[in-house]
Amino acid sequence: LHRLRALGLAARVLDVASDVGGAWYWNRYPGARCDVESVQYSFSFSKELQQTWSWSERFAGQPEILAYANHVADRFDLRRDIQLETRVTAAHFDEQTRRWTISTDRGEQFSAQFCVMATGCLSTAKLPEITGRDSYQGATYHTGYWPHEGVDFTGLKVAVIGTGSSAIQAIPVIAEQAAHLTVFQRTPNYSIPSRNGPMTPDYEGPWKSDYERRRAKARTMRTGILYGVEDETWGLNNVSAMDVSPDERQRIYEERWTVGGTAFMAAFNDLITNEASNDTAAEFVRSKIRETVKDPETAEALCPHDYPIGTKRICIDTDYFETYNRPNVKLVDLRKTPIEAITPKGVRTTAGEQAFDAIVYATGFDAMTGTLMSIDIRGCDGVELREKWAAGPQTYLGLMCAGLPNLFMITGPGSPSVLSNMIVSIEQHVDWLVGALAHMRANGIETIEPRADAEVSWGQHVNEAGHRTLYVKAASWYMGANVPGKPRMFMPYIGGVGVYRQECDDVAAKGYEGFVLTRRDERAVAAE
Ligand code: NA7
């Protein structure tokens, strides 16, 4: 909105939420926290903003990130063009007027030349399809739609279903409050300690005085995150795990485990491409789980074995594995005793029924495509997004789709998106889109749309890049595997944030190669 205004465009933002914040508005579960450190998970477009805002912790919690989103909205006077509590139900392109009609659940219609889907990648929460789910009489919560007033679990018997990032953050906090917590785990996850702590002047100072250079460097990195500012090898240690001695490997893993955070996965340059290398990192984390969790059976159940580390999103935690040493916490391994049903009282597995006062579903999202597919989007020549993506998303650069002129996506499938620091990727897409709109205005161009063949080639490129990695070996939400019936396809682009930025910039520099740009007068000629 800020950048579109600067371009001189009138813009309106629609959001179903009651306030700004997106993911950080909805995900208020206990322990919700960003897994990218806050000096990097923050906007870079305003020097004043990044100098005046101070984060209180290395990895900020949800309330602080939400406060930041509100601060940004106020600081840049955004609210006057944001309409809240409004769900977009349809977006139809009119081939005569060459404009989009956006319909909402309030019965309104907006007409716009451009439509930007900034709908998020993890914004449609998913409840598990378990028999009897609606028969349960106690309180239920989904981590992605947490009540704003918070939940007091004091004295309660609580069940958490799921052990992804959200559960791994919530479980230690819920365990401290609840009388008893039972965790139902279908797939164990690899998790690295965050080593979170208060922000210190020693840490913040050098960031603030060197922000420009560090941000520029981060934009060239594979994940859009700068690891280790002084030591370049921390970004991505450019050595195979197979090319160092076992002792040296162990030392490097220990060092990264001690520092904490996702830099662990950059310990070697082939952890996501070489199975033998990946195994060494996976085994290191399993050894840490066994070391931490006192009960050997629970420890073993918490050890992931059947997918490479990092191919389901790596989790970052505070005392997750330690929590299983508490006397009031129990793990149920659903691989041994699967859930048969949710009952009016609780959960029934093949080992019997357990009663609970509350059930927390930490069961994830219909990721990357779910929200876009929930909107009735129709473009030219009868193109419908739901139909077009029935076998999996197809985009050009993750930014646009053939047949849907002037409809942009921010961090759509086919871009680095969820594999990256989202703020870096969001800013890159906004920069690119604003550049495209400025070019169109300067040249009298009315519509932009990818060529079908460019979209096919990009899809092949994204697919090939995915298949060069181990990502395709995991039944992850990156692959659409967590939603029954969803096509299996590695949706984000693994080429790397730096490489991808260059690819997008090259396309623009070559006059928007792969796109059809149509001027108003050309359309008039075509119409005759
Ligand atoms: P995730 O990572 O999709 O995790 C969902 C969890 O719920 C995962 O452990 C699933 O097990 C489990 N799940 C889903 N359905 C069921 C059923 N029916 N029975 C038992 N367990 C189930 O979602 P999160 O919210 O934790 O994290 C999403 C992203 O948000 C995260 O990566 C960050 O980027 C922020 P499964 O692995 O499918 O066996």
Q: What is the mean pLDDT of residues 363-381?
A: 97
Torsion angles phi and psi, residue 385, rounded to 5: -60, -45
Q: Which atom of ligand 1 is nearest to the CA of 482?
A: 38
Question: CA–CA separation, 438 vs 428, rounded Å?
Answer: 15
Q: Which atom of ligand 1 is nearest to the CA of 315?
A: 32
Quick one: angle between helices 211-218 and 201-209, nearest 10? 80
pLDDT of residue 526: 52
Q: Which residues contact 210 (CB under 8 A, 6 or more apart)?
A: 229
- 243 Cα distance to chain centroid: 32
| Helices assigned H by DSSP within 324-421 | 370-373, 385-388
Query: Could you tell me the two tokens for 294?
Result: 């006192």
User: Using CB atoms within 10 A of its CB, is residue 103 exposed (0-12), middle (13-18) or buried (19+)?
Assistant: middle
| Helices assigned H by DSSP within 178-271 | 201-209, 211-218, 246-259
pLDDT of residue 524: 55
Query: Looking at ligand 1, which residue's alpha carbon is closest to its atom 22?
Result: 162
List pLDDT tens digits, range 420-445.
999 999 999 999 999 999 999 999 99
User: Which parts of 95-151 are beta strand (E)?
Assistant: 99-104, 109-112, 115-117, 139-142
Query: Looking at ligand 1, which residue's alpha carbon is closest to its atom 4?
Result: 164
| Helices assigned H by DSSP within 377-496 | 385-388, 422-442, 452-467
Q: What is the bridge-based pairing of β-strands 99-104 and 109-112?
A: antiparallel
pLDDT of residue 233: 74
Find out whether the beta carbon of 363 lies less than 6 Å from any atom of ligand 1.
yes
Q: Which residue's structure tokens are 């590695």?
A: 490
Q: What is the mean pLDDT of residues 306-326?
A: 97
Question: CA–CA separation, 270 vs 309, rounded Å?
Answer: 12
Buried b (16+ CB within 10 A) or exposed e, 105-139: eeeeebebebbbbbbbbbbbbbebebeeeeebebe
Asked if pLDDT for residue 69 goes beyond 70, the answer is yes
Asked if pLDDT for residue 527 goes beyond 60, the answer is no
Report which of 447, 455, 448 is spatially closest to residue 395, judged by C-alpha positions. Answer: 455
Query: Could you tell me the two tokens for 471?
Result: 């990502």
**Best of 34, 160, 186 for a ligand 1 pocket test (most atoms within 8 Å of beta carbon):** 186
Q: Which residues contact 242 (CB under 8 A, 6 or more apart)?
A: 270, 274, 276, 277
- For residues 439 and 511, is the Cβ–Cβ distance under 8 A? no
Find out whether the beta carbon of 308 lies less than 6 Å from any atom of ligand 1.
no
Find out whether the beta carbon of 394 lies less than 6 Å from any atom of ligand 1.
no
Query: Could you tell me the two tokens for 70?
Result: 């509100």
Give residue 236's pLDDT band: very low, low, confident or very high (50, 70, 90).
confident
pLDDT of residue 438: 98
Query: Looking at ligand 1, which residue's alpha carbon is closest to its atom 12?
Result: 162
Report which of 260, 254, 257 is spatially closest to residue 195, judged by C-alpha positions. Answer: 260
Quote the mean pLDDT of the chain. 96
Q: Which residues contact 77 (CB under 8 A, 6 or more apart)?
A: none
- For residues 253 and 264, is the Cβ–Cβ distance under 8 A? yes
DSSP-based three-state secondary structure for 191: strand
Find out whether the beta carbon of 347 lies less than 6 Å from any atom of ligand 1.
no
Q: Which atom of ligand 1 is nearest to the CA of 364?
A: 23
Q: Which atom of ligand 1 is nearest to the CA of 167?
A: 26
Question: CA–CA separation, 367 vs 371, rounded Å?
Answer: 8
Report which of 228, 218, 217, 279 is spatially closest to residue 470, judged by C-alpha positions. Answer: 279
Find out whether the beta carbon of 480 lies less than 6 Å from any atom of ligand 1.
no
CA of 418 to the centre of ligand 1 (A): 15
**Best of 361, 363, 488 for a ligand 1 pocket test (most atoms within 8 Å of beta carbon):** 363
Asked if pLDDT for residue 528 goes beyond 60, the answer is no
Find out whether the beta carbon of 163 lies less than 6 Å from any atom of ligand 1.
yes
Question: CA–CA separation, 140 vs 45, rounded Å?
Answer: 40
The size of the chain, in residues, is 528
Query: Looking at ligand 1, which residue's alpha carbon is closest to its atom 35?
Result: 165
CA of 312 to the centre of ligand 1 (A): 10
pLDDT of residue 520: 85
Asked if pLDDT for residue 237 goes beyond 90, the answer is no
Q: What is the mean pLDDT of residues 392-416?
A: 98
Amino acid at 363: T
CA of 202 to the centre of ligand 1 (A): 37
Torsion angles phi and psi, residue 191, rounded to 5: -135, 140
Find out whether the beta carbon of 337 lies less than 6 Å from any atom of ligand 1.
no
List pLDDT tens digits, range 83-142.
999 999 999 999 999 999 999 999 999 999 999 999 999 999 999 999 999 999 999 999
Quick one: angle between helices 246-259 and 275-292, nearest 10? 60
Find out whether the beta carbon of 476 lies less than 6 Å from any atom of ligand 1.
no
CA of 61 to the centre of ligand 1 (A): 20
Find out whether the beta carbon of 482 lies less than 6 Å from any atom of ligand 1.
yes
Which of 246-250, 338-342, 381-385, 500-504 is least confident?
Answer: 381-385
Report which of 406, 504, 418, 524 is spatially closest to residue 458, judged by C-alpha positions. Answer: 504
- 287 Cα distance to chain centroid: 28
Give residue 199's pLDDT band: very low, low, confident or very high (50, 70, 90).
very high
Which tops the pLDDT comparison, 525 or 268? 268
Question: CA–CA separation, 359 vs 467, rounded Å?
Answer: 38
Q: Which residue's structure tokens are 């990032």?
A: 165
List pLDDT tens digits, range 159-193.
999 999 999 999 999 999 999 999 999 999 999 99
CA of 191 to the centre of ligand 1 (A): 14
pTM summary value: 0.96
Find out whether the beta carbon of 122 lies less than 6 Å from any atom of ligand 1.
yes
**Best of 29, 166, 478 for a ligand 1 pocket test (most atoms within 8 Å of beta carbon):** 166
Q: Which atom of ligand 1 is nearest to the CA of 143?
A: 25
